[in-house]
Structure 1
Amino acid sequence: DLCGHATLASASVLFDLLGSGAGGKKRRHVKKIFFHANKDKLKAKLAPGASTGVQIHPGDGQGGCGKKNSVRISMDFPWRSLREVVEEADRTAILRMVQKAFKLSDETMHKNLLFVGIDSVGEDVLVEVTRDVLLSLKHGPSHINYDALETWGGGYSRGVILCSQASEKDIVIAPDGERMRIDFLSRFFGPKAGIPEDSVTGSAHCTLAPYFGAKVGKANVVGMQVSERRGVVECALEDGACEGEGRMKKVRIVGTAGLAVGGTLFV
């Protein structure tokens, strides 16, 4: 199935082996690599500019995440639209699920809830809350009842996305030293996929980027996943207009990968 980390890591290794990546000698001029996932065809290519990672602004108390010998890779992922959950029974069940998981009161939930939706393929539920509430949620099993996130019996098959629009306080320092504004914040929980909480989830941005791109009126958006480790995801929304009749909307995600260790496995 679709996985951002697996696509980024695989592309990084292949570009390196083919001489186009961070550490290899130039042997072949490879511009693009295509991966065939279970339901999707994914394209990866080298993104402009070498990267040393991004640094989360110290004003929010975060450390840096610089990488040496790293490479920036652009990946075309499918565009996932959202359908708002308006059925009262389903909406109530989702809210109860989130409240129980994070020990939120009825008052907090209802005052700070902005949107409840499910993606176009039925994989993920998206719950938008205010920034203050999202950042108030703690991390780890002592603070989160992960089992509660499986209690809604409705039609989602993978995970729960909690998110909010960012504020002017949310910035990162880009590789070129420029201050880059964050457009949205998120956390991802994959109870039905056996993942309590994922640190950075590229595939969730197939839904997050189109949703917040429409909200802020931008074709290029930057998300910060506020897991315990944290990470930044750059996204570009492509409408596929140049592809003719069979055009497909897609989300172009840029990630940074560094080759840390290599070896040979005999089987």
Structure 2
Amino acid sequence: MKIKQYQVDAFASRPFEGNPAAVCPLESWLDDDLLQAIAEENNLSETAFFVPTAKGFRLRWFTPVKEVDLCGHATLATAHVIFEILGYTESAIIFETRSGNLCVEKDSNQLKMDFPAFPPTPCEVSETIIKALGVHPIELLAADDYVAVLDSETTVRAITPNQALLAQLDLRGVIVTATGTDVDFVSRFFAPKIGIPEDPVTGAAHCKLAPYWAGKLGKNFLSAKQVSKRGGSLKCEVKADRVVLYGNAVTFMEAEIAFET
């Protein structure tokens, strides 16, 4: 059996930037163990699989170790494949996912993704968080990940976390963030518990960060940069209980997976 696979750099304007995701179009679902094995073999933050439905496409995302409920960069990568490679002619794509229906539209030379907002709530700063990050956050919040607000972009860039301690936390991962020097806010995301020591650019993290910074800065349209080694930029718009993310993607590789069933 053979299936097509595309590797796409999401939240990037050229190859070798942003966050790489693998995208596999399927006619029907393969066994979950096989989907997970493909994601493990790819060893990227996420591998996305999709099948056609009456509404649009059913979309699922896998890290190297588990399936996840929401992934922004792999959704952007999948929409890029559908629009630019598979020749989809509608102006918007509806993805049916674990997090409900997600709409991705073409918006000028960008793609526009409509995601649910997950505003984090304040929580107590634990000693484990302090030891894991090596700094004391000025504020700590929680959703499905911790959001550690730091004093500056310089501090965010300098963080070298203790991955073993991060993996012991009760939540999935930790987002560190601060106001930016040339954007509204910057961030980094660490999630060793799900096989991602550091994610290059994390769309889903901005579903938590955008509502937080919108409240702090008093504006609903924000510029953001994830300051990982690869780095990536995106725009965020907060609309009630939704976050609209704007970004670009580029195709890095087209391949074919061959295996025996």
Task: Count the aligned residue pairs.
Answer: 191
User: Residue in 2 aligned with 1:165?
Assistant: 179
The answer to whether 1:116 aligns with 2:116 is: no
Deviation string, structure 1 residues 12-45 (Cα, Å, up to 9, x no partner):
111124536xxxxxxx3x1110112213221101
Distance 1:34 1:230 in 2: 28
Report the AA paired with residue 245 of structure 2: I
RMSD, matched Cα: 2.0
User: Residue in 2 aligned with 1:34?
Assistant: 94
The secondary structure found in structure 2 opposite 1:259 is strand
Matches within 5 A, 1:87-166: 91-93=124-126, 96-104=127-135, 109=136, 113-119=137-143, 123-131=144-152, 134-135=155-156, 137-138=158-159, 143-153=160-170, 156=171, 158-166=172-180
Q: Is the 8 A contact 1:209 1:221 kept in 2?
A: yes
Deviation string, structure 1 residues 210-258 (Cα, Å, up to 9, x no partner):
100111111100111111221112111112xxxxxxxxx2100011011
User: Residue in 2 aligned with 1:4?
Assistant: 72
How far off its partner does 1:264 sit? 5.2
Distance 2:132 2:218 in 1: 32
Structure 2: 5+ residue stretches without partners: 1-68
User: Residue in 2 aligned with 1:13?
Assistant: 81
User: Residue in 2 aligned with 1:203?
Assistant: 204
Report the AA paired with residue 160 of structure 1: V
Distance 2:153 2:111 in 1: 32
User: Residue in 2 aligned with 1:260?
Assistant: 252
Q: Is the 8 A contact 1:81 1:210 kept in 2?
A: yes
With normalisation by structure 1, the TM-score equals: 0.66
Q: Is the 8 A contact 1:134 1:163 kept in 2?
A: no
The answer to whether 1:77 aligns with 2:115 is: yes
Distance 1:14 1:136 in 2: 34
The secondary structure found in structure 1 opposite 2:254 is coil
Distance 1:129 1:145 in 2: 17
Distance 2:134 2:218 in 1: 34
Structure with greater contact order relative to length (CA < 8 Å, sep ≥ 6): 2
Structure 1 residues 134 and 17, CA, compared in 2 at 3 Å: closer, same or farther? same
Q: Which has the higher helix share?
A: 1
Report the AA paired with residue 260 of structure 1: F
Distance 1:149 1:265 in 2: 34
Q: Is the 8 A contact 1:102 1:137 kept in 2?
A: no
Structure 1 residues 99 and 5, CA, compared in 2 at 3 Å: closer, same or farther? same
Distance 2:101 2:95 in 1: 6
With normalisation by structure 2, the TM-score equals: 0.67
Structure 1: 5+ residue stretches without partners: 21-27, 51-71, 86-90, 172-181, 240-248
Q: Is the 8 A contact 2:125 2:139 kept in 1?
A: no
Q: Is the 8 A contact 2:186 2:224 kept in 1?
A: yes
